[in-house]
């Protein structure tokens, strides 16, 4: 049952805010102090089924099915305005729930309004075509139609952004969506649900649920009425998700983990490179799937650059994530901290040296705080270069030649982000083309836009989010043949 002293979030199913069928309730703790701050209802298989059936009904009949693309775009514009207007509230809730910096969650909530506007504008720009068919008396054309009911599974980190990159194109395409929020920090998505209703999006077009794997995630991803699955999370969970889609043949996209390389050449602007490495590793407290946690630095500038990074790291402020002066807040879970500690211990055994950091910082309020850390590695086989830790840990390795740097950058099971710092434009083109990743930033890092697709290769997943391609991925092409001849159709058993 709910605790009357804490805020309580219900599930949004078919336009109604409801408890889960079995009345299961989970608590959410504030990572900054370890205290419970809210409770939320959890869905079971029956709740999932009700949400999916509502989505199917709205896809096939009712106000949503009757809307044209321009009308759907108008609703997305309205949602964008509401998200932007309520960015402060959305960010504060996300920070309380996940520990992410308010400076980042508020600005990100405001910026994702541009994703909804981008897809609002695209809604009525997706066209069919008339085909120059090779048969006489045939008028043949294609029509874009919604792919169907979408299951969108979103993790706790960057959830406003990762939701917008799924929900925006799906609604623009005319799909209906069941959004599954992480059970670790779901509150911001329930707040978003209120804005979805306020925007006038019909009841049941978007349902928002959460819960554990057995009762919620598995029933959703394996539900026979799911046509499209958009998943962001870890590779191990993704393997189960793929197996689940054997039950429904859902078209699937996966945006998974990463151990992104950043290569710094000796001709780079070292001030820019140091800032890029700080942003790529300590931004978002390191809780980013594109974190540039494998830093390959040309040996001739290794000492100078690491000194710059250490000097900048000394200026990093650890503390209350709600404070505008804080640079690094708590990690979302203690399990992340424990993973970092175990990985660092293994790295030291392998010969790595911790240049700074490497310890918890409980004096800031909880066991979730961890110091920004740099690990100097003798080679690229050290454990910190292999394990995604989801925390503020940077590993540096020296290299001598361009070929060596590229080889080390590509020696990974992942392939999401990458970075190159050089003032040689030919080298920038040459190296960025050879790095095996879905995204490559040159002389910058962690920049996003609704116009630019993102996604990975290898165990960082497949499919792309954002950009024009994303809305096309929520559409099926329907082909229509019309016989324009005034003559009867010919006898199929008479071959001419």
Ordered per-residue pLDDT tens for the chain, 496 residues = 445 689 999 999 999 999 999 999 999 999 999 999 999 999 999 999 999 999 999 999 999 999 999 999 999 999 999 999 999 999 999 999 999 999 999 999 999 999 999 999 999 999 999 999 999 999 999 999 999 999 999 999 989 999 999 999 999 999 999 999 999 999 999 999 999 999 999 999 999 999 999 999 999 999 999 999 999 999 999 999 999 999 999 999 999 989 999 999 999 999 999 999 999 999 999 999 999 999 999 999 999 999 999 999 999 999 999 999 999 999 999 999 999 999 999 999 999 999 999 999 999 999 999 999 999 999 999 999 999 999 999 999 999 999 999 999 999 999 999 999 999 999 999 999 999 999 999 999 999 999 999 999 999 999 999 999 999 999 999 999 999 999 998 888 887 6
Task: Answer yes or no: do 110 and 151 share one domain.
Answer: yes
Q: Report if residue 205 sits inside a domain.
A: yes
**Token output for 99:** 């520990």
Domain count, the chain: 2
CATH value at residue 79: 3.40.605.10
Cβ atoms 460, 447 nearer than 8 A: no
Task: Answer yes or no: do 91 and 221 share one domain.
Answer: yes
Task: Answer yes or no: do 246 and 272 share one domain.
Answer: no
Query: In this structure, are strands 251-255 and 228-232 parallel, antiparallel, or unpaired?
Result: parallel
Task: Answer yes or no: do 248 and 301 share one domain.
Answer: no
Catalogue the active-site residues.
255
Q: Report if residue 117 sits inside a domain.
A: yes
CB-count exposure of residue 229 (10 Å: 0-12, 13-18, 19+): buried
Task: Answer yes or no: do 286 and 337 share one domain.
Answer: yes
Task: Answer yes or no: do 299 and 328 share one domain.
Answer: yes
Residue holding tokens 């920049």?
447
Task: Answer yes or no: do 159 and 270 share one domain.
Answer: no
Task: Answer yes or no: do 367 and 410 share one domain.
Answer: yes
Task: Answer yes or no: do 39 and 159 share one domain.
Answer: yes
Domain hosting 358: range is 261-442
Task: Answer yes or no: do 105 and 13 share one domain.
Answer: yes
Q: Report if residue 146 sits inside a domain.
A: yes
Task: Answer yes or no: do 206 and 229 share one domain.
Answer: yes
CATH value at residue 415: 3.40.309.10
Q: Report if residue 90 sits inside a domain.
A: yes
Task: Answer yes or no: do 33 and 119 share one domain.
Answer: yes
Q: Report if residue 450 sits inside a domain.
A: no
Q: Report if residue 486 sits inside a domain.
A: no
User: Residue 41: in which H helix or E strand, if any?
Assistant: strand 36-41
CB-count exposure of residue 426 (10 Å: 0-12, 13-18, 19+): exposed
CA–CA distance, 175 with 432 (Å, rounded to integer): 36
Which residues make Cβ contacts (< 8 Å) with residue 282, sequence separation at least 6? 313, 316, 327, 328, 372, 392, 394
């Amino acid at each position: 049952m709910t605790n009357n002293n804490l805020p309580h979030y219900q599930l949004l199913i078919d336009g109604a805010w409801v408890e889960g069928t079995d009345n299961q309730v989970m608590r959410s703790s504030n990572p900054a102090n370890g205290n419970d701050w809210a409770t939320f209802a959890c869905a079971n298989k029956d709740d999932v089924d009700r949400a999916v059936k509502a989505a199917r009904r709205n896809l096939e009949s009712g106000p949503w099915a009757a809307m044209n693309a321009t009308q759907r775009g108008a609703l997305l514009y309205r949602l964008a305005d509401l998200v932007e207007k309520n960015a402060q509230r959305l960010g504060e809730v996300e920070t309380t729930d996940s520990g992410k910096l308010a400076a980042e969650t508020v600005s990100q909530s405001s910026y994702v309004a541009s994703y909804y506007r981008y897809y609002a504008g695209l809604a009525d720009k997706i066209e069919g075509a008339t085909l120059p068919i090779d048969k006489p008396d045939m008028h043949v054309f294609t029509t874009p139609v919604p792919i169907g009911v979408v299951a969108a599974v979103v993790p706790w980190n960057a959830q406003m952004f990762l939701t917008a990159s799924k929900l925006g194109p799906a609604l623009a395409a005319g799909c209906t969506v069941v959004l599954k929020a992480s059970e670790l920090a779901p509150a911001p998505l329930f707040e978003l649900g209120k804005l979805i209703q306020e925007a006038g999006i019909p009841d049941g077009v978007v349902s928002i649920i959460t819960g554990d794997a057995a009762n919620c995630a598995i029933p959703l991803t394996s539900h026979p009425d799911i046509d499209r699955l958009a998943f962001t999370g870890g590779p191990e969970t993704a393997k189960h998700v793929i197996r689940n889609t054997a039950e429904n043949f859902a078209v699937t996209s996966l945006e998974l983990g990463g151990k992104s390389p950043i290569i710094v050449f000796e001709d780079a602007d070292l001030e820019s490179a140091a800032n890029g490495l700080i942003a790529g590793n300590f931004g978002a407290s390191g809780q980013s799937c594109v974190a540039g946690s494998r830093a390959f630095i040309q040996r001739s500038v290794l000492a100078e650059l690491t000194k710059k990074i250490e000097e900048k790291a000394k200026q990093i402020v650890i503390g209350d994530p709600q404070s505008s002066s804080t640079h690094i807040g708590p990690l979302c879970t203690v399990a992340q901290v424990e993973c970092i500690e175990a990985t660092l211990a293994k790295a030291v055994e392998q010969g790595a040296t911790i240049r700074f950091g490497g310890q918890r910082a409980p004096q800031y309020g909880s066991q979730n705080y961890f110091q920004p850390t740099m690990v100097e590695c003798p080679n690229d086989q050290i454990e910190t270069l292999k394990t995604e830790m989801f925390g503020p840990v940077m590993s540096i390795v020296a290299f001598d030649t361009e070929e060596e740097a590229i080889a080390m950058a590509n020696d990974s099971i992942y392939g999401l982000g990458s970075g190159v710092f050089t003032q040689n434009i030919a080298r920038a083109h040459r190296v960025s083309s050879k790095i095996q990743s879905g995204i490559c930033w040159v002389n910058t890092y962690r920049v996003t836009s609704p116009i630019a697709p993102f996604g990975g290769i290898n165990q960082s997943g497949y499919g792309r989010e954002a950009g024009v391609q994303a809305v096309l991925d929520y559409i099926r092409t329907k082909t229509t043949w019309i016989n324009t001849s005034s003559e009867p159709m010919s006898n199929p058993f008479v071959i001419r």
